[in-house]
Every structure is written in structure tokens, then in C-alpha cells.
Amino acid sequence: MQREDEGPVAVTKATFDEDVLAAPRPVLIDFGAEWCGPCAAVAPVIRSLALEYADRLTVATVDVDADPQLAARYGVRSLPTVLLLEGGEVRRVLVGARSGQEYRAAIDGMLH
């Protein structure tokens, strides 16, 4: 699981239920792929969010090429897609590259 001095947790099908669905706090999941330019563009933002919200939010990443079944499970059809979950339930979906400000607004809306 994520520590306050680390970035996002890379989750796989094998670790998803424990790291995401059973997480004791809300979770942001970034679905992306190595070949995806917009994914690479938002990666530093996602890492920054992981550090900024480390005490209140778990930030995870899923490589859709390695675990396409997770993408299919959540209907991910475009990359990057960011899901915000609370109690294992999807609360918000953000499709496409977004600014840090947009991600923060979505996170803050869920946390407050």
C-alpha cells in the first residue's frame, strides 16, 4: 500500500481487490498505458496528487495492456481514464487528460 513519501501504487488484477476495493480510504485509479501520450502527460500530475493527498487518499495506477480485464470491468474505453472510488463504489469518472486543478476539484469534492 502507499506510504506518504511514495507515488501511486501500481495495481494488477491480483492486487486490485485488496489495494482498491478493500482500501480503508477513497481511491483514485489512473488507467493508462505506456504508449499513451496523454497518459505520459498526466503521470507527473497523478504522482503529485499521490504525494499531496497521501494521508487521505490512495492513488493507484493500472496498466491496461497488462490488465485489460480491469479496464473492461470499469468500462474504460479511452485513455487516460481516472476513477474516484469510495467504499469500492465509483463516485466520479474523468476521461482524457485533465489539469491538476480539475483532478484536485474532483478529489476535494469527494473528500468533503
| pLDDT (tens digit per residue) in 83-112 | 999 999 999 999 999 999 999 999 999 998
Domain assignment present for residue 81? The answer is: yes
Q: Is 39 a catalytic residue?
A: yes
Q: Is 36 a catalytic residue?
A: yes
pTM score, two decimals? 0.92
Q: Which of 36, 57, 64, 76 is catalytic?
A: 36
Which has the minimum average pLDDT: 6-10, 73-77, 82-86, 106-110? Answer: 6-10
pLDDT digits 0-9 by tens, 22-44: 999 999 999 999 999 999 999 99
Q: What are phi and psi of 82, to 5 degrees?
A: -115, 130
**Kind and range of the H or E element at 89?**
strand 89-95
Domain assignment present for residue 4? The answer is: no
End-to-end CA distance of the chain: 23
Coil, helix or strand for 57? coil
Domain assignment present for residue 39? The answer is: yes
**Is residue 4 pLDDT above 60, yes or no?**
no
**Is residue 5 pLDDT above 80, yes or no?**
no
The CATH number linked to 57 is 3.40.30.10
The sheet with strand 81-86 has its strands ordered as 9-10, 58-63, 27-32, 81-86, 89-95
Number of domains forming the structure of the chain: 1
Domain assignment present for residue 1? The answer is: no
Q: Which residues pair with 84 in a beta bridge?
A: 28, 92
